[in-house]
Homo-oligomer: A and B are copies of this chain.
Amino acid sequence: MNSPVSDRIELLRRMLLVRRFEERCVELYTETKIRGFLHVYIGEEAVATGVISALDESDAVVATYREHGHALLRGVSARSVMAEMYGRVTGCSRGRGGSMHLFDATARFYGGNAIVGGGLPLAVGLALADKLQGRNRVTVCFFGEGAMAEGEFHESVNLAAVWQLPVLFVCENNLYAMGTALRRSESETNLALKASAYEIPAWSVDGMDVEAVAGTAERAVAAIRSGAGPHFLEARTYRFRAHSMFDPERYREKAEVAQWKQHDPIDAFVGKLRDEGGLDDGRLAELENQAADVIADAVAFAEDSEDEDSADLLRFVHSPGSTAEPASLRGAP
Protein backbone atom coordinates (compact mmCIF):
# COMPACT_ATOMS: atom_id res chain seq x y z
CA MET A 1 0.00 0.00 0.00
CA ASN A 2 3.02 2.27 -0.01
CA SER A 3 3.35 2.53 -3.75
CA PRO A 4 1.93 5.76 -5.27
CA VAL A 5 -1.87 5.55 -5.27
CA SER A 6 -3.91 7.05 -8.08
CA ASP A 7 -7.10 5.29 -7.20
CA ARG A 8 -9.37 7.97 -5.75
CA ILE A 9 -11.54 5.47 -3.92
CA GLU A 10 -8.43 4.15 -2.24
CA LEU A 11 -7.65 7.63 -0.92
CA LEU A 12 -11.16 7.86 0.47
CA ARG A 13 -10.90 4.38 1.96
CA ARG A 14 -7.77 5.38 3.82
CA MET A 15 -9.15 8.64 5.16
CA LEU A 16 -12.26 6.88 6.35
CA LEU A 17 -10.27 4.21 8.11
CA VAL A 18 -8.21 6.80 9.96
CA ARG A 19 -11.28 8.85 10.90
CA ARG A 20 -13.29 5.92 12.19
CA PHE A 21 -10.27 4.43 13.93
CA GLU A 22 -9.68 7.62 15.91
CA GLU A 23 -13.36 8.12 16.67
CA ARG A 24 -13.21 4.69 18.24
CA CYS A 25 -10.05 5.61 20.14
CA VAL A 26 -11.85 8.55 21.72
CA GLU A 27 -14.62 6.24 22.88
CA LEU A 28 -12.09 3.77 24.21
CA TYR A 29 -10.38 6.61 26.06
CA THR A 30 -13.58 7.56 27.84
CA GLU A 31 -13.97 3.84 28.62
CA THR A 32 -10.43 4.10 30.11
CA LYS A 33 -9.18 1.34 27.82
CA ILE A 34 -6.69 3.85 26.44
CA ARG A 35 -4.82 6.14 28.85
CA GLY A 36 -2.11 8.78 28.91
CA PHE A 37 -2.32 11.54 26.33
CA LEU A 38 -4.40 10.96 23.22
CA HIS A 39 -4.11 13.43 20.34
CA VAL A 40 -6.45 12.80 17.44
CA TYR A 41 -6.02 13.87 13.85
CA ILE A 42 -9.71 14.24 13.08
CA GLY A 43 -10.13 16.90 10.40
CA GLU A 44 -6.53 16.66 9.20
CA GLU A 45 -6.65 13.23 7.54
CA ALA A 46 -6.21 14.51 4.00
CA VAL A 47 -2.69 15.69 4.81
CA ALA A 48 -1.05 12.40 5.83
CA THR A 49 -3.23 10.45 3.41
CA GLY A 50 -2.13 12.55 0.48
CA VAL A 51 1.51 12.78 1.43
CA ILE A 52 2.05 9.15 2.35
CA SER A 53 0.31 8.00 -0.83
CA ALA A 54 3.20 9.63 -2.68
CA LEU A 55 5.85 7.44 -1.02
CA ASP A 56 7.55 4.20 -1.91
CA GLU A 57 7.95 1.28 0.47
CA SER A 58 11.61 2.12 0.87
CA ASP A 59 10.98 5.68 1.98
CA ALA A 60 10.93 6.68 5.64
CA VAL A 61 8.36 8.53 7.74
CA VAL A 62 8.95 10.53 10.91
CA ALA A 63 5.85 11.86 12.66
CA THR A 64 4.65 13.41 15.93
CA TYR A 65 2.49 12.43 18.91
CA ARG A 66 -0.54 12.95 16.67
CA GLU A 67 0.41 10.04 14.49
CA HIS A 68 -2.19 7.27 14.62
CA GLY A 69 -3.23 8.13 11.11
CA HIS A 70 0.31 8.34 9.82
CA ALA A 71 1.08 4.91 11.22
CA LEU A 72 -2.03 3.30 9.71
CA LEU A 73 -1.48 5.02 6.37
CA ARG A 74 2.11 3.83 6.36
CA GLY A 75 0.88 0.28 6.67
CA VAL A 76 1.30 -0.36 10.36
CA SER A 77 -1.54 -2.76 11.12
CA ALA A 78 -4.62 -1.45 12.91
CA ARG A 79 -4.23 -4.41 15.26
CA SER A 80 -0.74 -3.47 16.39
CA VAL A 81 -1.62 0.23 16.69
CA MET A 82 -4.72 -0.47 18.75
CA ALA A 83 -2.88 -3.03 20.87
CA GLU A 84 -0.21 -0.41 21.52
CA MET A 85 -2.80 2.03 22.81
CA TYR A 86 -4.06 -0.73 25.08
CA GLY A 87 -0.48 -1.14 26.29
CA ARG A 88 -0.29 -4.73 25.11
CA VAL A 89 2.82 -6.74 24.28
CA THR A 90 1.32 -7.25 20.82
CA GLY A 91 1.39 -3.49 20.24
CA CYS A 92 3.76 -2.06 17.64
CA SER A 93 5.99 -0.83 20.49
CA ARG A 94 5.25 -3.78 22.80
CA GLY A 95 3.13 -1.52 24.99
CA ARG A 96 6.03 0.65 25.98
CA GLY A 97 5.19 3.59 23.75
CA GLY A 98 1.46 4.14 23.74
CA SER A 99 -0.37 6.63 21.53
CA MET A 100 2.57 9.05 21.24
CA HIS A 101 5.24 6.47 20.47
CA LEU A 102 4.13 4.23 17.62
CA PHE A 103 7.06 2.63 15.77
CA ASP A 104 7.41 0.08 13.00
CA ALA A 105 10.75 -0.95 11.54
CA THR A 106 9.34 -2.87 8.57
CA ALA A 107 7.21 0.13 7.54
CA ARG A 108 10.22 2.39 8.14
CA PHE A 109 7.98 4.33 10.47
CA TYR A 110 10.30 6.10 12.91
CA GLY A 111 7.63 7.32 15.31
CA GLY A 112 5.91 8.79 17.20
CA ASN A 113 7.80 11.60 18.99
CA ALA A 114 6.38 13.51 21.96
CA ILE A 115 8.98 16.26 21.89
CA VAL A 116 7.70 19.00 19.62
CA GLY A 117 10.29 19.38 16.87
CA GLY A 118 12.21 16.37 18.14
CA GLY A 119 11.71 14.38 14.97
CA LEU A 120 13.26 16.91 12.62
CA PRO A 121 16.94 16.20 13.35
CA LEU A 122 16.15 12.48 13.11
CA ALA A 123 14.71 12.88 9.64
CA VAL A 124 17.78 14.81 8.55
CA GLY A 125 19.97 11.98 9.81
CA LEU A 126 17.95 9.29 8.08
CA ALA A 127 18.29 11.23 4.83
CA LEU A 128 22.00 11.72 5.44
CA ALA A 129 22.41 7.95 5.81
CA ASP A 130 20.68 7.45 2.47
CA LYS A 131 22.87 10.03 0.80
CA LEU A 132 26.06 8.56 2.22
CA GLN A 133 25.00 5.06 1.16
CA GLY A 134 23.90 6.23 -2.27
CA ARG A 135 20.34 5.01 -1.77
CA ASN A 136 17.67 6.92 -3.64
CA ARG A 137 15.14 7.15 -0.82
CA VAL A 138 13.10 9.99 0.60
CA THR A 139 12.43 10.76 4.26
CA VAL A 140 9.22 12.58 5.08
CA CYS A 141 9.03 14.51 8.33
CA PHE A 142 5.65 15.67 9.66
CA PHE A 143 5.34 18.39 12.29
CA GLY A 144 2.89 21.07 13.33
CA GLU A 145 3.13 24.79 12.68
CA GLY A 146 3.87 25.30 16.35
CA ALA A 147 7.06 23.28 15.96
CA MET A 148 8.39 25.86 13.54
CA ALA A 149 9.23 28.15 16.46
CA GLU A 150 11.55 25.54 17.95
CA GLY A 151 15.27 25.85 17.36
CA GLU A 152 15.27 22.26 16.09
CA PHE A 153 13.22 23.32 13.08
CA HIS A 154 15.73 26.02 12.19
CA GLU A 155 18.81 23.91 12.70
CA SER A 156 17.39 20.88 10.92
CA VAL A 157 16.07 22.60 7.81
CA ASN A 158 19.31 24.54 7.44
CA LEU A 159 21.34 21.36 7.82
CA ALA A 160 19.24 19.54 5.23
CA ALA A 161 19.55 22.51 2.88
CA VAL A 162 23.31 22.97 3.29
CA TRP A 163 23.84 19.25 2.72
CA GLN A 164 21.09 18.97 0.08
CA LEU A 165 19.49 15.96 1.71
CA PRO A 166 16.43 14.06 0.44
CA VAL A 167 13.92 15.23 3.05
CA LEU A 168 10.34 16.37 2.59
CA PHE A 169 9.37 18.61 5.50
CA VAL A 170 5.61 18.61 5.90
CA CYS A 171 4.13 21.25 8.15
CA GLU A 172 0.60 20.39 9.26
CA ASN A 173 -0.64 23.92 9.82
CA ASN A 174 -3.83 23.50 11.84
CA LEU A 175 -3.53 27.10 13.10
CA TYR A 176 -3.06 26.18 16.75
CA ALA A 177 -0.35 24.78 18.96
CA MET A 178 -2.49 23.60 21.84
CA GLY A 179 -4.11 26.94 22.64
CA THR A 180 -1.63 29.16 20.88
CA ALA A 181 -2.79 30.66 17.61
CA LEU A 182 -0.24 30.84 14.80
CA ARG A 183 -0.10 34.65 14.83
CA ARG A 184 0.91 34.55 18.48
CA SER A 185 3.74 32.10 17.88
CA GLU A 186 5.21 33.11 14.52
CA SER A 187 6.15 36.61 13.40
CA GLU A 188 5.85 35.37 9.80
CA THR A 189 2.56 33.52 9.41
CA ASN A 190 3.15 32.67 5.77
CA LEU A 191 4.97 29.46 6.57
CA ALA A 192 6.02 28.55 3.04
CA LEU A 193 7.55 31.98 2.68
CA LYS A 194 9.28 31.47 6.02
CA ALA A 195 10.69 28.12 4.91
CA SER A 196 11.86 29.50 1.59
CA ALA A 197 14.29 31.65 3.59
CA TYR A 198 16.33 28.46 3.91
CA GLU A 199 16.75 28.48 0.16
CA ILE A 200 14.68 25.38 -0.42
CA PRO A 201 11.54 24.97 -2.55
CA ALA A 202 8.58 25.62 -0.26
CA TRP A 203 4.95 25.22 -1.25
CA SER A 204 1.55 25.59 0.37
CA VAL A 205 -1.42 23.37 -0.33
CA ASP A 206 -5.03 23.09 0.80
CA GLY A 207 -4.74 20.44 3.48
CA MET A 208 -8.44 19.69 3.31
CA ASP A 209 -8.17 18.53 -0.31
CA VAL A 210 -6.62 15.07 -0.37
CA GLU A 211 -6.01 15.06 -4.10
CA ALA A 212 -4.34 18.44 -4.02
CA VAL A 213 -2.09 17.22 -1.22
CA ALA A 214 -1.30 13.97 -3.02
CA GLY A 215 -0.51 15.75 -6.25
CA THR A 216 1.75 18.32 -4.62
CA ALA A 217 3.48 15.68 -2.53
CA GLU A 218 4.09 13.56 -5.63
CA ARG A 219 5.76 16.50 -7.35
CA ALA A 220 7.88 17.24 -4.30
CA VAL A 221 8.89 13.62 -3.79
CA ALA A 222 9.78 13.25 -7.47
CA ALA A 223 11.92 16.39 -7.31
CA ILE A 224 13.68 15.17 -4.17
CA ARG A 225 14.30 11.76 -5.73
CA SER A 226 15.78 13.45 -8.77
CA GLY A 227 18.31 15.11 -6.48
CA ALA A 228 16.73 18.53 -6.03
CA GLY A 229 17.37 18.50 -2.29
CA PRO A 230 14.98 19.11 0.60
CA HIS A 231 11.50 20.53 0.02
CA PHE A 232 9.00 22.10 2.39
CA LEU A 233 5.27 21.63 2.14
CA GLU A 234 2.74 23.56 4.22
CA ALA A 235 -0.65 21.87 4.37
CA ARG A 236 -3.38 24.22 5.58
CA THR A 237 -5.73 22.27 7.74
CA TYR A 238 -7.63 22.38 11.04
CA ARG A 239 -8.02 20.29 14.15
CA PHE A 240 -11.74 19.55 14.64
CA ARG A 241 -11.33 18.12 18.11
CA ALA A 242 -9.62 19.29 21.27
CA HIS A 243 -5.81 19.20 21.33
CA SER A 244 -5.91 16.22 23.66
CA MET A 245 -8.47 14.72 25.98
CA PHE A 246 -7.70 17.38 28.59
CA ASP A 247 -8.35 20.49 26.54
CA PRO A 248 -11.26 22.79 27.53
CA GLU A 249 -10.80 24.68 24.23
CA ARG A 250 -11.05 28.12 25.79
CA TYR A 251 -8.85 29.60 23.09
CA ARG A 252 -11.08 29.37 20.03
CA GLU A 253 -14.65 30.15 19.07
CA LYS A 254 -17.17 27.35 18.49
CA ALA A 255 -18.16 29.27 15.35
CA GLU A 256 -14.64 29.00 13.98
CA VAL A 257 -14.64 25.24 14.50
CA ALA A 258 -18.07 24.92 12.91
CA GLN A 259 -16.88 27.02 9.99
CA TRP A 260 -13.93 24.72 9.37
CA LYS A 261 -16.08 21.62 9.68
CA GLN A 262 -17.82 22.85 6.54
CA HIS A 263 -14.56 21.86 4.86
CA ASP A 264 -14.34 18.36 6.29
CA PRO A 265 -11.82 16.63 3.99
CA ILE A 266 -13.85 13.42 3.91
CA ASP A 267 -17.25 15.00 3.27
CA ALA A 268 -15.70 17.19 0.61
CA PHE A 269 -14.04 14.29 -1.14
CA VAL A 270 -17.15 12.13 -0.89
CA GLY A 271 -19.18 14.94 -2.45
CA LYS A 272 -16.62 15.34 -5.20
CA LEU A 273 -16.59 11.63 -5.99
CA ARG A 274 -20.36 11.48 -6.00
CA ASP A 275 -20.61 14.41 -8.40
CA GLU A 276 -17.93 13.14 -10.69
CA GLY A 277 -19.26 9.61 -10.46
CA GLY A 278 -17.32 6.67 -9.14
CA LEU A 279 -18.96 6.73 -5.74
CA ASP A 280 -22.51 5.86 -4.79
CA ASP A 281 -24.22 5.04 -1.51
CA GLY A 282 -23.50 1.34 -1.94
CA ARG A 283 -19.78 1.82 -2.45
CA LEU A 284 -19.57 4.26 0.42
CA ALA A 285 -21.42 1.88 2.75
CA GLU A 286 -18.98 -0.80 1.66
CA LEU A 287 -16.03 1.38 2.62
CA GLU A 288 -17.62 2.24 5.95
CA ASN A 289 -18.19 -1.44 6.61
CA GLN A 290 -14.65 -2.33 5.68
CA ALA A 291 -13.36 0.31 8.11
CA ALA A 292 -15.73 -0.86 10.81
CA ASP A 293 -14.55 -4.44 10.36
CA VAL A 294 -10.86 -3.53 10.50
CA ILE A 295 -11.45 -1.50 13.66
CA ALA A 296 -13.64 -4.11 15.34
CA ASP A 297 -10.99 -6.70 14.57
CA ALA A 298 -8.27 -4.42 15.94
CA VAL A 299 -10.19 -3.79 19.16
CA ALA A 300 -10.91 -7.48 19.62
CA PHE A 301 -7.24 -8.23 19.02
CA ALA A 302 -6.19 -5.63 21.57
CA GLU A 303 -8.73 -6.85 24.09
CA ASP A 304 -7.53 -10.43 23.74
CA SER A 305 -3.85 -9.61 23.77
CA GLU A 306 -1.53 -10.17 26.71
CA ASP A 307 0.39 -7.59 28.66
CA GLU A 308 4.18 -7.61 28.54
CA ASP A 309 5.60 -9.72 31.35
CA SER A 310 6.56 -7.33 34.16
CA ALA A 311 9.78 -9.28 34.51
CA ASP A 312 10.71 -7.88 31.11
CA LEU A 313 10.46 -4.29 32.27
CA LEU A 314 14.16 -3.66 31.75
CA ARG A 315 14.38 -5.31 28.35
CA PHE A 316 15.36 -2.99 25.51
CA VAL A 317 16.96 -0.37 27.72
CA HIS A 318 20.02 -1.77 25.99
CA SER A 319 20.14 -4.16 23.07
CA PRO A 320 19.74 -7.82 23.95
CA GLY A 321 23.03 -9.31 25.05
CA SER A 322 24.61 -5.96 25.79
CA THR A 323 27.03 -6.03 28.71
CA ALA A 324 25.12 -3.00 29.96
CA GLU A 325 21.88 -4.96 30.30
CA PRO A 326 19.72 -5.36 33.46
CA ALA A 327 21.17 -7.25 36.45
CA SER A 328 23.99 -4.73 36.65
CA LEU A 329 21.44 -1.97 36.12
CA ARG A 330 18.47 -3.20 38.08
CA GLY A 331 18.38 -1.66 41.56
CA ALA A 332 16.43 -4.00 43.78
CA PRO A 333 14.73 -2.14 46.64
Interface check A152, CB cutoff 8 A: yes
Which 10 A/B pairs are nearest by Cβ-Cβ distance?
A: A151-B151, A197-B197, A161-B187, A154-B154, A187-B199, A188-B199, A151-B155, A162-B187, A187-B198, A151-B154
What CA separation (Å) do A149 and B153 show in the bound complex? 11
Tell me whether A197 and B186 are in contact (CB under 8 A). Answer: no
Contacts of A94-143 to chain B: CB distance below 8 A: none
Interface size on A, residues (CB 8 A): 22
State how many angstroms separate the Cβ of A142 from the closest Cβ of chain B.
19
Partner of A194, one of B150, B162, B186, B197: B197
Interface membership of A330, Cβ < 8 A: no
Judge if A184 is at the interface, Cβ distance under 8 Å.
yes
What is the bound-complex CA distance between A154 and B185, given in angstroms? 12
Chain A stretch 181-227: residues in CB contact (< 8 A) with chain B = 184-188, 193-194, 196-200
A199 to B185, CA, bound (A): 13
Query: Is A158 on the interface with B (CB-CB < 8 A)?
Result: yes
- A188 to B198, Cβ gap below 8 A? yes
**Chain B minimum-CB-distance residue to A161:** B187
Which residues of B sit under 8 angstroms from A153, Cβ to Cβ? 154
Cβ contacts A to B, 10 pairs, < 8 Å:
A149-B158, A151-B155, A153-B154, A154-B155, A161-B187, A162-B184, A162-B186, A187-B199, A187-B200, A193-B197
A162 to B148 CA separation, bound complex (whole angstroms): 13
Q: Is the CB of A185 within 8 A of B197?
A: no
CA distance A156 to B198 in the complex (A): 17
A166 to chain B, nearest CB (A): 15
CA distance in complex: A22, B300 (Å): 75
How far does the alpha carbon of A188 sit from the alpha carbon of B155 in the complex, in Å? 13
A151: contacting residue among B152, B162, B200, CB under 8 A: B152
Q: Which B residues lie within 8 Å of A188 (CB)? A: 197-199
In the complex the two chains form, what is the Cα distance from A149 to B159 in whole Å? 9
Please give the distance in Å from A200's CB to the nearest CB on chain B. 7
Residues from chain B with Cβ under 8 Å of A150 in the complex: 151, 155
Which chain B residues border A186 with CB–CB below 8 Å?
A: 158, 162
Within 8 Å by CB of A149, from B155, B185, B193, lies: B155
Report Cα–Cα, A85/B187, bound state, in Å.
Answer: 41
Task: Give the CA-CA distance A207 to B116 in the complex, in Å.
Answer: 38
For residue A161, which residues in chain B have a CB less than 8 angstroms away from its CB?
Answer: 187
Q: Chain B contacts of A197 at CB under 8 A? A: 188, 193-194, 196-197
Q: How far is the CA of A89 from the CA of B152 in the complex (A)?
A: 40
Chain B residue at smallest Cβ distance from A200: B187
What's the nearest-Cβ distance from chain B to residue A140, in Å?
Answer: 20
**Nearest B residue to A117 by beta-carbon distance?**
B151
What residue of chain B has the Cβ atom nearest to residue A188's Cβ? Answer: B199
- Taking the closest CB of chain B, its distance from the CB of A203, in whole angstroms, is 16
Tell me the minimal C-beta distance from A189 to chain B in angstroms. 9
